[in-house]
A and B are shown apart, each in its own frame.
Chain A
Amino acid sequence: MDSSSDHSTAQKLYGVIPAIELNSWESEELLDCLTELSDSQQDFLLHQISVIWPVSHSLCLAFLEAVRPALSCLDKEQFATWVRGILDRYESQGLQEARRFMHDLDNHFICTLKGQTGLLLSTIKNRLSLYLRGVAGRPFDLETAPLPGTDTTSIFLPRNSTLFGNVDANFLVYKLLASLQWAFIRGNLYCHEVDDEEALFAKLGRPMPSEPCSAIFLTRFFDSFAKPETAKAIYHFLQSFRALAFLQKRLPGLMRDSQIYFRTIAAELSVNLHQNELLSAEYAFILKHLCHNLPLELPSGPGWHECRPSAWWQDRDLIFVDTNRIYATSKDSSDRPLAQPPYFLGSFLVDKAHARRLSRRKEVEQQFIEALSIRILPALSKKDAKSPQESPTAERPQQPDSGANLTIRLPEPPDDQDKIEPIHDRVVRHIRLDDQKIDLDHKLQELGREIMDDLGNLPQLYIDSAAQMAAGRSYEPNMNTPEQEGTALKGALLYDEWDFRRQGFRHDWCHLLEKNIHPSGGTFISSALSEHRGVIKQLKRQFEQMRSHHRFVGRQRDGDDIDLDALTEALADRQAGLPPSERLFVRQLRDQRDIAALFLVDMSSSTEGWVGKAIKESLLVMAEAMESLGDRYAIYGFSGMRRTRSEVFRVKEMEEPYNETVQGRIAALGPKDYTRMGPPIRHFSKILAKVEARIRLLIILTDGKPEDYDDYKGEYAIEDTRHALIEAKNAGIHPFCITIDHKAQDYISHLFGEVNYLFIDDVKKLPRRMPDMYRILTS
């Protein structure tokens, strides 16, 4: 390479990445990589670098290390897809995962192109979780793991399903695996405790394990055998049998469809199974039934034929008795190695399920205490005489009343006519605090039931903690803290952002906070109202005329009343020998405006001064006029800095009345930071889409281009905003833009479309033009 071409390459590179951002070794590395390529390849690669560099510098350098093989074997389209894949992985799983993805081009990418990766869980997660929710009647989290399994809250499934060449069959595999895990949960796979453990061990003729032993019943049970792993495998086999038989009964269609899967598995298994291994014949036996969709049977060996699987549902000790017996009969051969269970049965995660149960217990405890403390707070605050520190105590009703002032009332025995499952009568319905009965709401009842199911009782500690928490709360100066500027109303919401360079979303990229704005006093409102008095009066009259009104239409075929004029005419006609009209009625018609509008106001720092004042005045005039129209409307401001702090400020909610507070908030609108338009547009599209109205308007008031402190500027910002607006339109919302910018023409019609904007060159006209625009827009 001669130095002149080196030089031009460097020029190109600095056109993409400012030289100032690069240290010397980075720029050397980049240049080394580029100079070896042809011009067109250089340009192409530089474009990709421009996409990756702003996301992460180290990712970009790692990308260049790995780029050579990809450049040689992928065409441009594929290459762009590959880069998208890298960015997705970087954003979802971090640099390490992105590196792995880049370096293992063959496994991670080429095979996708050839259609060999099968079906990714992430692509069908939504559908599968809806399916599972319907089938199971409750939601589960779907997570990826090498082997299928469950901890009773989450269901683990492989990251992709590659067995078959087509999507439907691979989806079927997921469906089967997920349904089977649900069936395991239904079959109480991780039986946490039995009614009477001592009696069970006695029945089995095994000694109770001595100290120290595991906190988990199942582990204690397995450990009581000489070969715990064998006992575990037998138990898991029986549970698998039960779950599969349950599925055959409950979801016959699934099991019939799955024959194709079982046959493929069986073919593989016949190679891998060794007759010598323990349980291998049994696995093959049930698999044979599954392949032909025959009702499942247990193998007919010694020990097996005494099993009564159908009775397992009634007596939960029985499956342990059967495990014990099968273990005993296969004792002579227990030196044989254990067979690997077929893949679809998954892994048996005793410890994980236990850990999950404990963490859930903590969660429920927290939620219960929190909710209960809020619940008993009003009652507590009524008794001022008592010291709030004095903690009320809880009593179970079956215990003698010891004069405690807080009792938990368990439900009375259920009515005879309603057959209630035993689980239902563990509902805690109310709590007694002194003489006041405090009903527990639905959520507390649910939590209470979960605790009772788990622990068998409601621990005293929970109620004490709740009472203490409530006592602490009642000392707080004011429960309804006054509105303060900057108080976030709820946690940050995550929104995607559109990256035009990769033609894809950056998922959950922006954090949006909804905040209060503290109304300000001052003279702004009164002076603005008096200044625009004339306009407001005129607008009010105009808007009044647009209101919905009743009107009578005469000469109808039917209606509420007789149209006397028409009748007279008809009678006259008849007298005259003419055919009389049949349109003799008056009918009342009602024209209804069904419009919801949301005004979104730019609060970026550039609105300081005249522009900001004009915007505020326009909002005020607009609000005044809207009051006489009766349309529902909301006003919000937006600003923010960087993707992690997009903020929207609530001036007026949709159903909130227009009053002095709202006026004060309009007055308090002030310049803040930058104009990142995407997140607020996505946020309010979501809100507006839920408003029931014939027409939903999103009116954006801005003074310039979308722009943020970070790389959200130029084409990137415009394309993201444009995409957000397209999303809004797809949600049935009409976006409209009012812009105060001298250089607006070049991008604004690209953003909003030819007719969906109003361009105002003189800011003083805004208070007049804005209501005008609204009138035209909605009539």
Chain B
Amino acid sequence: MAQATLTRTVAVRRGRGRRGESLTKVLFVLPAALAMGALFGYPVVKNLVMSLQDYGLRTFFTGEAPFIGLKNYSAMVSDQLFSQAMVNTALFTIGSIAFQFGIGLALALFFRRRFPLGGLLRSLLLLPWLLPLIVSSATWRSILEQDNGILNRTLTGLNLIDQPVPWLNSPSVALIAVIGVNIWIGIPFNVTLLYSGLAEIPEELYEAGQLDGATGWRAFTHITWPNLRAVAGVLLMLGVVYTIKVLDIILGLTGGGPANATQTLATQSYERSFVDFKFGEGAALSNLLIALSFVFAIFYLRSTRRAVDE
């Protein structure tokens, strides 16, 4: 009898708890939902709206931003720098990722071999990735400086070049130099992710492969790469999404110059909005960036769907 009453009280208390509980559950998520809405939802909507408005310096005084249809987009496309910015963005993204990934994979495979201090060396390798980008930019600017930078002094000293290379001062070299710096920054991240991917491949696969004569390059193409493809896919898509929007490094190294040789969609968007105060045109450019990221995002979400479902 007492037992039955007790059970009922607990049941009642639980029932009452459940209703209050669904409210509590909402409260767990509410702050994050509000923050995500304010920090991502609102900006996306606001950029879409602004890109259809004449949103300029005047707007900040009068509060007026008349709708002008697609004029910001036609101004964007007809700008003489637009095609160059598109090409530079593509070169910057593809060049950075190809080398970050290639070098990252080589280093990850190297560190996969067990040797003394391997783990320590591998974790110290992360340092370039953790430094503030503007710190890296400043450092590389001193290294790449034309007259007295250590790179040119070393190359001249080794008789590899006759004239100092104007790494950041010549329109024909600057983009290559900027891509080089970005590769340096991205290698550690690629090594870390690829290494963790390699670590998940069971050792038995290699032992079995060895019996079938799969060693060296054959082991790589038949065992390593097929098992690494999921991680590699995520990494490449993340690489595109992160690289396409890079702004700090370019602003710190060249500011888009010399002679606009390193302008990308991101730097152009920044300049329209925060230098020219044409927020409408800046928004149009940044919407193009979102659209491009989104194309790759679809691949990215496909390749991570497995991870999410788990």
Are A and B genuine complex partners? Answer: no
**Interface residue ranges, A against B (CB under 8 Å):** none
